[in-house]
Each structure stands twice: as structure tokens, then as C-alpha cells.
Homo-oligomer: A and B are copies of this chain.
Amino acid sequence: MRHESKILKDNPLGDKHIRDLIVYLPPNYDEDKQFPVVYCLTGFTGRGKMFLNDSAFTPNLAERLDKLIGDETIKPMIAVMPDCFTHYGGSQYINSSATGNYEDYLTQEIIPFVDENFGTINDKNSRAVMGKSSGGYGALVMATRHANLFGLACSTSGDAYFEFCYFPGIVEGFRAFKGDAKALIEKFWREDARKGKDDFAALNTIGMSACYSPNENSELGFDLPFDLATGEIREEVWARWLEHDPVRLVEKSVENLKSLKLLYIDAGIRDEFHLDLGARILCKRLKDFDIPHIHEEFDDGHFNISYRQNRSLELISDTFKE
């Protein structure tokens, strides 16, 4: 499905504002019936369409839903897979003067559009959001700021406790910059340029800078959290990042978080970005504020864990109101 966005029109990166919106309809879909909806958010460098990518040994999300609904493991539901990708690799599903207003795009355009065009139950307790990695982060953003729209939120390996999930990558990726952030971005858009592990770490730092520390007055449009010559951390920029850390967002969002019917947080105990520790620290905060939630850990890392979607989908299905 195509959707033409007003909010993304003239976005600062020149990314397209007419985008594919992937909508999965359950096998028994019928325009006259109403179904609950789950919004599925991809990780950094992802976009909705990738949920449909074919893979040798693993079902894609549509195949997975067909199976779970066919099995009656979960209730029939609509799944929406939006595209919040940007030239820098992603948007973290938040508004930024450096990338565009993707938080508004999702909450003010996509949700109404879906509710208008499909047989949905337009109610927060029949609307869930789930995602992995930056998609899990997006789910947490929705839970903390848009609990009026989403009554259920599941974050798998969602970005949290930025000291652990981002800081080491800032250090690792520093050398890839070679003093020129622009050249690094361009490298990613040249197909035949070989990219190493450090380049990906650097791209991640750029992507997060664009989301967390935009700066309309800087040449790049955002501030990097370190000095390009020595690597020294710019504490004031880093502090702006931390304001976006879910661990820090909890105290500002207690009422919203308490209003959720489902708040599910899981992560693998071998997560390469230490997001299991982020999840532990986040859940400690939730507990400190008496916010109901479910916390689980599983024996795996950060990658190739789409099978964990089953767990989120089952909890969502169980929680959707009858």
C-alpha cells in the first residue's frame, strides 16, 4: 500500500515522502469485520518491507502470522509494518530537525490512515506496538509518550541504558570517521565500497546523533558526541542523548506506563549490545515506580532472533480485549 505523507514532505534529508506501507491482513479478513492491530517496528537500517524478506530456514513475519493464526495460537489480527527509514539508516521513531518528524508521522498519519482504510478496532486496547532493537526502542517511545494510542507495547532487545548499548560503539567506530562524518555516510551509499565493523559502528553513531542531538545550526545538521580530532566526549552532547534513554524516560512517563495493559520487555543474555543489561536496568526503574511489566531473558544474542516475535505476539493476543 502506498501512503503519501504531509509530515515527511520536504524532510531535511530529502528522503521520499511517498512510501510503501505494508499491511498484513489475516486469512479470514473481511472489510466488514473489525480486527485488532499490531504495529511492527524494524531495527536500525530496517523498514517495514524487510519483514517480508524471504529467508532459508526462518519464516518471514507474514508467514509467521499465517501460521500462528492458522494454529489458533493467536487471534486474527492486522499487522502494520511502517517505513521510518532515513538516509542515515533510521529515525528511532522520534521527531528530529535532522531527519524528520517520524514520531508524528507514525502517530498522526499512519494510525488514522490504517483505521480509515482497514477493518480495525480503533481503540488503544486493541492497538499494540512491538519491535526489536531500535524497533523495541520505538515501542518504548510509544509506550512512554503515546499510551493514549497504544495500550500494549513489547520491546525485544530495545535500545536502553545508552552507556552500555551506544557508548562502546562510539569508541569502536571513532576511527572509521577519519575526521569526516559526511564521507562515511556517502560510503554506505556506494555499493562497491567495502564496509567493516567499525564503519557500521560509526554509522550507528551518526544515526543516533541525528535523532538524539540534532542541531540546525551545525553543518551536518546534528552534533556528534565526540571531538572528531581527539575523540574526546562532548559531555553536553552526550547529556542530550541520555535524555532519550528509556531508563531515564521512565520517571517522566509514570502515568502513561501505568496505563498500559501490556508492557513486555525481553532480551537475549548474550546480546552483543548489552541490551539484556539495558532491559534489567529499565525493569528495575519500572519496579521502583511500581509500573506493571513482564521481563524475560532468553539464551541468545542480538541477531537472528525473529522467533522471539512469537512470544510478543502471543502476549499481545492474550491481552487484546475480547
Write the residues of chain A forming the contact surface with B, with a CB cutoff of 8 angstroms: 45-47, 49-50, 52-58, 85, 89, 161, 163-164, 167-168, 171-172, 174-175, 188-189, 191-192, 194-195, 229-233, 269-270, 274, 277, 280-281, 284, 298-301, 304, 306-307
A192, B300: Cβ atoms closer than 8 Å: yes
A47 neighbours in B (Cβ, 8 Å): 54, 56
Closest 6 CB pairs between A and B?
A191-B307, A231-B277, A168-B168, A45-B56, A53-B53, A49-B54
**Interface class of chain A by DSSP:** loop
A231, B280: Cβ atoms closer than 8 Å: yes
Query: Bound complex: CA of A301 vs CA of B192, how far in Å?
Result: 11
By beta carbon, the residue of chain B nearest A89 is: B56
By beta carbon, the residue of chain B nearest A305 is: B192
Q: B58, B191, B231, B281: which contacts A231 (Cβ < 8 A)?
A: B281
Given A53-B53, A56-B89: A232 and B281 interface contact (C-beta under 8 Å): yes
Question: Could you list 26 A-B pairs, sorted by A, with CB under 8 Å?
Answer: A45-B57, A47-B54, A47-B56, A49-B54, A50-B54, A50-B55, A53-B54, A58-B191, A163-B171, A163-B233, A164-B171, A164-B231, A168-B168, A168-B171, A168-B172, A171-B274, A171-B277, A174-B277, A175-B269, A191-B307, A192-B300, A192-B307, A195-B304, A230-B280, A231-B280, A232-B284
Q: B163, B168, B171, B194: which contacts A300 (Cβ < 8 A)?
A: B194
A194 neighbours in B (Cβ, 8 Å): 299-301
CB distance from A204 to the nearest CB of B (A): 12
Q: B56, B270, B277: which contacts A85 (Cβ < 8 A)?
A: B56
CB distance from A211 to the nearest CB of B (A): 16
Q: B189, B195, B230, B277: which contacts A284 (Cβ < 8 A)?
A: B230
CB distance from A239 to the nearest CB of B (A): 13
A280, B85: Cβ atoms closer than 8 Å: no
Q: B57, B189, B281, B301: which contacts A191 (Cβ < 8 A)?
A: B57
CB distance from A191 to the nearest CB of B (A): 4
Query: Bound complex: CA of A299 vs CA of B193, how far in Å?
Result: 9
A53 neighbours in B (Cβ, 8 Å): 50, 53-54
Query: Bound complex: CA of A311 vs CA of B58, how far in Å?
Result: 31
A284 neighbours in B (Cβ, 8 Å): 230, 232
Query: Bound complex: CA of A161 vs CA of B187, how far in Å?
Result: 30
Given A54-B47, A85-B56, A168-B167: A161 and B232 interface contact (C-beta under 8 Å): yes
CB distance from A4 to the nearest CB of B (A): 20
Q: Which among A49, A172, A230, A298 has the greatest number of chain B C-beta atoms within 10 A?
A: A230
